[in-house]
């Protein structure tokens, strides 16, 4: 097996035993990038030289002895909405095409201090708005399992990079499913942590009350390792939770005896592809075989969650994205006066989907409409939260499909934003409620990976990880590689 | 027809915290352009605000001093509008749940006390400053200085309880005094650390319903608050008398021309699209913390005025003038503490000291004569070493040289002549030299004595003890 295909845990062991160096691992990854990047298009900004320097520094540390962090010397992809000092951070938008932040996001700072290696800045839907990376202002990324198909989004570049072997791990951000859905489409593990578990400082905001950074990895163990590296209270983020982060690897256990699993009735209805439903039901059976108990539960306000999301997220976005005006940074529109300058910067710098959401949000907050839209959406959000609260009084975790279908074809949904929005129907409620949710590979349909979503209560990451790990160990889905680069016979 | 004027004021006051409201940058006024900035106050992508706890404390302090109720649950909201001095294109402010509500402020106008309601006190961030290459209308471009971006502000909104431009001015002066006493703001209108917008409308006397109001901006001094409102009263009165209607609009005071001009109509008013700031958590204020702040509130102008009246027997007027400015009150206390007689100090502060400060446009904190030096001067007068008249000359010398009174008196030989023999000799010489005046006096023209006193003073260069001169002159006539 090539170095770029291996798990974080096994590579860490090899580094400690000095069987391999961080430079060798990093070179292996970049060799893979050279092989497949033209097809997959994961990265907006590869970070080759700096990555090799980081790898060298990690090797020096390993040679010197002392404590070596689990991610030291191991190369990953950062979604391009995470600010990196001195490295372009574009949010896949023309408006930030040349933006180089003067500071690091807290997660970037944390990973760097643990000697992790940054392979590059990954493609995404512009400002994280979308579910396919087709809304990237530069180019779409492709699904390594089928290059005709999308890798999902908005963290599609991050997922594609890991699935293609162009990164050992990746960070994404999830506002309505943007980590979990691409993880599902690319046969990976993706975790959206509890809101406030991971600092958002330096994550370019889409919808502040919903955004959360999380890992995309090949398996649940790697997910726990990355979570250990990035979680915790950050005084720079007022919404981050003031509680010490546990060691998530302690949750890597197959002991699910007595674990109460809920199957929300509203998540198994119409619109789900039959293979997806079957895969979820099979997962339930496997967990039951391990001793978990399963029952049906109800989250009655689920059907309103999507509508509430498409009010709240654009409303916040309309304000968060107001700063892109070309005055002191970003794409500058030339005009005779300030208003024409603003208009040019924003109509030329933003893509269609971003403009659509800014307009939706501006409308929803306008005087005379606020009560009917934004305020009502906030009330729905409260009801959705209460649904989860009640469900978690009865069960430990909830099992649902991550997305109703496997990855769709590039271009298939671009003319139909509403159908595209429906892909998020199972992932959005947990953002509204702020609860953690993971997607783990649960089978294939027509050669395309499927994802099982496990949702837990607030700060219930350990329950989610334990369930996901137990399920993962029953199958070999996580050990399969995308057939990319293999000669098709 | 006769109208009643209805005015409400919105006062913005910059809080004198060391760092900005949502980041650690300095709030220092007058720093080089764009030096007190960081990614947070520049609104760069990805940054998040963190509330400066001192700002909440200062706002609570102001709220308590203005007799407000402090809300235990308060929050920040975003006020969305585009302007190049506002890097995020929204201002983080407070909308429906401000930190303090329902207070009042007592003002005195024409010797009568009037209570003005305070609707609310809320916290918000200040915007930056545009620097134009020429004037606003002829500049090819404008530059932005973000030093002020994120400096903490409180906005204090009054009820429409003010009934004249004079009351508005009194309200603003009282507000400034309170904020200074609280040590939460420098309140320098010329530096923009105290700013004021006014809502003004007229209604026929006896009518309960408010008339249509205009909002006046750009009132940059106490004088312009009064002038701008006086202008607006006249403008609206004329409009109404001619059978016209006041339009609801925002107007700007042009200080040079002495007029207000329309900025924008109600229809053009911004829709600020307020919504809760998702990057900050609500502010939960503990009652015990509020009570602790209340217990440690400094002495406020009203209390200090009473104290000066009680302790030193100052008349209400004197005590009011001296305590209107915290710095003046402190100067006063410091001078009295050096042993100077309380009423004499008050007279000096209200006359010579104020006159010189006004003439040079100085603040009392910047007074070249220290309280100790002033006390020294007053001591020389009460000991009879110099006369009150000479003291004024000495004071001017102290002002320009920074020296103390005693050394000036010695250097210039200004010690009062109180030796009877010496004065009698001069008196007799003057009587001999001016027979006509002496005759006039003896004929009953009392005024003639003034001329003779003047002659004596002239010969002694004003140093003769005036009481002795008067007595000895009369005796010798």
Catalytic position from the list A21, A42, A158, A178:
A178
> Band of the pLDDT at A487, cuts 50, 70, 90?
very low
Show the tokens assigned to A218: 């090949």
Contact A191, A435 (CB under 8 A): no
pTM for this structure? 0.90
Surface of B (367-386) touching A: CB under 8 A:
none
Show the tokens assigned to A258: 């007595």
pLDDT at site B38: 98
Distance between CA atoms of A92 and A140, rounded to whole angstroms? 10
Q: Tell me whether residue A336 is exposed, middle or buried, using C-beta atoms within 10 angstroms of its C-beta: 0 to 12, 13 to 18, 19 or more.
A: exposed
pLDDT in tens, A420-439: 788 899 999 999 999 999 99
Active site residue A158: no
B25 Cα to chain A: minimum distance (Å)? 14
Contacts of B397 (CB under 8 A, 6+ apart): B403, B408, B412
pLDDT at site A248: 98
A218 to A4, A9, A72, A103, A191: CA distances (angstroms) = 11, 11, 17, 29, 12
> Band of the pLDDT at A485, cuts 50, 70, 90?
low
CB contact under 8 A, B45 and A83: yes
**B171 CB neighbour count, 10 Å cutoff:** 25
B110 Cα to chain A: minimum distance (Å)? 44
- For residue B45, the chain A residue with the least C-alpha distance is A204
Active site residue A79: yes
- State the DSSP code for B463: -
Going by C-alpha positions, the residue among B6, B347, B431, B449 that lies closest to residue B209 is: B6
pLDDT at site A489: 38
| Residue showing tokens 């609260």 | A389
User: What ipTM score was computed for the predicted complex, to two decimals?
Assistant: 0.96
Whether A246 has a pLDDT exceeding 80, the answer reads yes
Distance between CA atoms of A218 and A430, rounded to whole angstroms? 22
Which residues are bridge partners to A43 per DSSP? A122
Nearest-by-Cβ selection for B273 from A89, A342, A366 = A366
pLDDT at site A488: 42
**B446 CB neighbour count, 10 Å cutoff:** 8
> Band of the pLDDT at A357, cuts 50, 70, 90?
very high
Q: Which residues of chain B have pLDDT under 70?
A: none
Q: Residues of A with CB below 8 A from B45's CB?
A: 83, 89, 91, 96, 99, 101, 204-205, 323
Whether A414 has a pLDDT exceeding 80, the answer reads no
- State the DSSP code for B68: P
Distance between CA atoms of A407 and A423, rounded to whole angstroms? 10
pLDDT at site A262: 98
- State the DSSP code for A309: H
- Residue-by-residue DSSP string for A288-318: HHTT-EEEEE--TTHHHHHHHHHHHHHHHHH
Contact B14, B123 (CB under 8 A): no
> Band of the pLDDT at A486, cuts 50, 70, 90?
low
Whether A419 has a pLDDT exceeding 80, the answer reads no
pLDDT at site A297: 97
Distance between CA atoms of A75 and A72, rounded to whole angstroms? 9
| Residue showing tokens 């205009």 | B214
pLDDT in tens, A115-137: 999 999 999 999 999 999 999 99
Nearest-by-Cβ selection for A327 from B44, B49, B84 = B84
Whether A70 has a pLDDT exceeding 50, the answer reads yes
pLDDT at site B476: 84
Q: What average pLDDT is seen over chain B?
A: 93
Catalytic position from the list A28, A79, A93, A132:
A79
Q: Touching check for A107 and chain B: CB below 8 Å? A: no
pLDDT at site B435: 87
Q: Number of residue pairs across A and B with CB atoms under 8 Å?
A: 96
Q: What is the pLDDT averaged over residues A187-194?
A: 98
Contact A217, A430 (CB under 8 A): no
- For residue B50, the chain A residue with the least C-alpha distance is A238
Q: Touching check for A338 and chain B: CB below 8 Å? A: yes
Contact A482, A187 (CB under 8 A): yes
Whether A446 has a pLDDT exceeding 70, the answer reads yes
CB contact under 8 A, A323 and B273: no
Going by C-alpha positions, the residue among A109, A112, A107, A137 that lies closest to residue A123 is: A137
Active site residue A178: yes
pLDDT in tens, B98-149: 999 999 999 989 889 999 999 999 999 999 999 987 777 778 888 999 999 9
- Residue-by-residue DSSP string for A210-254: T-EEEEEESSHHHHHHHHHHHBS--TT-TTS--SPPP-GGGG---
pLDDT at site B275: 96
Q: What is the pLDDT averaged over residues A298-306?
A: 95
């Amino acid at each position: 097996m090539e170095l770029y295909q291996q798990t974080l845990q096994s590579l860490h062991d090899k580094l400690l035993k000095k069987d391999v160096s961080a430079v060798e691992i990093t070179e292996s990854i970049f060799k893979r990038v050279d092989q497949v990047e033209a097809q997959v298009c994961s990265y907006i900004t590869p970070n080759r030289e700096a990555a090799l320097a980081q790898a060298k520094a990690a090797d020096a540390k390993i040679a010197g002895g002392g404590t070596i962090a689990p991610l030291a010397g191991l190369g990953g992809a950062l979604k391009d909405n995470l600010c990196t000092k001195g490295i372009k951070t574009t949010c896949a938008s023309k408006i930030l095409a040349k933006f180089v932040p003067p500071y690091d996001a807290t997660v970037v700072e944390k990973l760097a201090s643990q000697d992790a290696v940054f392979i590059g800045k990954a493609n995404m839907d512009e400002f994280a708005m979308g579910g396919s990376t087709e809304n990237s202002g530069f180019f779409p990324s492709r699904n390594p399992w089928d290059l005709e198909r999308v890798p999902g989004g908005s963290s599609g570049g991050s997922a594609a990079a890991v699935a293609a072997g162009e990164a050992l791990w990746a960070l994404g951000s999830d506002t309505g499913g943007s980590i979990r859905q691409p993880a599902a489409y690319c046969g990976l593990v993706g975790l959206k942590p509890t809101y406030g578990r991971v600092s958002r400082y330096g994550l370019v905001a889409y919808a502040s009350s919903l955004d959360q950074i999380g890992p995309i990895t090949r398996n649940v163990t790697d997910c726990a390792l990355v979570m250990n590296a990035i979680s915790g209270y950050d005084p720079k983020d007022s919404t981050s939770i003031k509680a010490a982060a546990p060691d998530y690897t302690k949750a890597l256990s197959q002991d699910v005896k007595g674990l109460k699993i809920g199957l929300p009735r509203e998540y198994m209805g119409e619109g789900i592809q039959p293979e997806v439903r079957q895969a979820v039901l099979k997962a339930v059976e496997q967990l039951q075989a391990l001793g978990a108990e399963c029952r049906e539960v109800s989250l009655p306000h689920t059907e309103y969650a999507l509508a509430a999301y498409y009010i709240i997220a654009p409303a916040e976005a309309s304000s968060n994205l107001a700063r892109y005006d070309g005055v002191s940074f970003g794409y500058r529109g030339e005009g005779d006066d300030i208003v024409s300058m603003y208009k040019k910067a924003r109509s030329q710098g933003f893509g269609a989907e971003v403009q659509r959401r800014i307009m939706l949000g501006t409308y929803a907050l306008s005087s005379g409409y606020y009560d009917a839209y934004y305020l009502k959406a906030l009330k729905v959000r409260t009801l959705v939260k209460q649904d989860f609260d009640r469900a978690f009084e009865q069960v430990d975790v909830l099992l649902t499909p991550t997305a109703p279908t496997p990855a769709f074809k590039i271009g298939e949904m671009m003319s139909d934003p509403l159908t595209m929005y429906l892909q998020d129907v199972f992932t959005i409620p947990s953002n509204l409620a702020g609860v953690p949710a993971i997607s783990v590979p649960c089978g294939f349909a027509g050669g395309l990976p499927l994802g099982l979503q496990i949702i837990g209560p607030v700060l219930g990451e350990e329950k989610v990880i334990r369930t996901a790990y137990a399920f993962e160990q029953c199958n070999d889905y996580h050990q399969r590689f995308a057939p990319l680069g293999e000669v098709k016979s | 027809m006769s109208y009643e004027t209805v005015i409400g004021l919105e006062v913005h006051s910059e809080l004198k915290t060391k760092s900005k409201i949502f980041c650690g940058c300095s709030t220092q006024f007058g720093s080089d352009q764009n030096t007190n900035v960081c990614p947070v106050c520049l609104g760069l992508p990805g940054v998040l605000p963190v509330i400066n706890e001192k700002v909440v404390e200062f706002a609570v302090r102001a709220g308590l001093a203005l007799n407000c109720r402090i809300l235990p649950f308060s929050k920040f909201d975003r006020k969305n509008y585009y302007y190049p001095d506002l890097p995020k294109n929204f201002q983080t402010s407070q909308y429906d749940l401000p930190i303090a509500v329902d207070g009042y402020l007592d003002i005195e106008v024409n010797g009568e006390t009037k209570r003005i309601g305070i609707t609310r006190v809320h916290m918000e961030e200040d915007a930056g400053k545009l620097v134009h290459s020429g004037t606003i209308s002829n500049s090819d471009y404008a530059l932005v200085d973000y030093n002020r971006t994120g400096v903490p502000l409180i906005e204090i909104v009054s009820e429409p309880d003010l009934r004249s431009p004079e009351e508005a001015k009194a309200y603003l002066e009282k507000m400034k005094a309170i904020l200074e006493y609280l040590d939460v703001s420098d309140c320098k209108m010329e530096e923009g650390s105290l700013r004021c917008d006014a809502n003004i409308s007229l209604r026929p006397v006896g009518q309960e319903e408010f008339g249509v109001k205009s909002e006046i901006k750009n009132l940059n001094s106490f004088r312009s608050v009064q002038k701008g409102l006086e202008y607006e009263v006249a403008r609206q009165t004329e409009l109404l008398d001619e059978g016209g209607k006041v339009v609801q609009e925002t107007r700007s005071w042009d200080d040079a021309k002495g007029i207000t001009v329309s900025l924008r109509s109600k229809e053009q008013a911004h829709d600020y699209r307020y919504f809760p700031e998702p990057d900050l958590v609500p502010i939960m204020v503990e009652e015990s913390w509020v009570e602790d702040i209340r217990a440690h509130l400094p002495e406020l102008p009203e209390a200090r005025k009473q104290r000066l009246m009680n302790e030193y027997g100052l008349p209400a007027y004197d005590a009011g003038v001296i305590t209107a400015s915290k710095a003046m009150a402190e100067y006063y206390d410091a001078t009295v503490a050096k042993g100077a007689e309380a009423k004499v100090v008050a007279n000096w502060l209200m006359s010579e000291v104020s006159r010189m400060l006004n003439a040079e446009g100085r603040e009392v904190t910047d007074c070249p004569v220290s309280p100790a030096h002033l006390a020294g001067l007053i001591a020389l007068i009460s000991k009879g070493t110099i006369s009150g008249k000479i003291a004024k000359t000495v004071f001017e010398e102290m002002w320009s040289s920074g020296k103390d009174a005693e050394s000036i008196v010695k250097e210039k030989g200004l010690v009062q002549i109180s030796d009877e023999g010496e004065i009698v000799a001069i008196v007799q010489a003057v009587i001999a030299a001016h027979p006509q005046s002496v005759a006039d006096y003896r004929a009953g023209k009392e005024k003639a004595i003034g001329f003779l006193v003047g002659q004596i003073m002239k010969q002694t260069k004003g140093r003769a003890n005036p009481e002795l001169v008067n007595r000895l002159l009369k005796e010798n006539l």
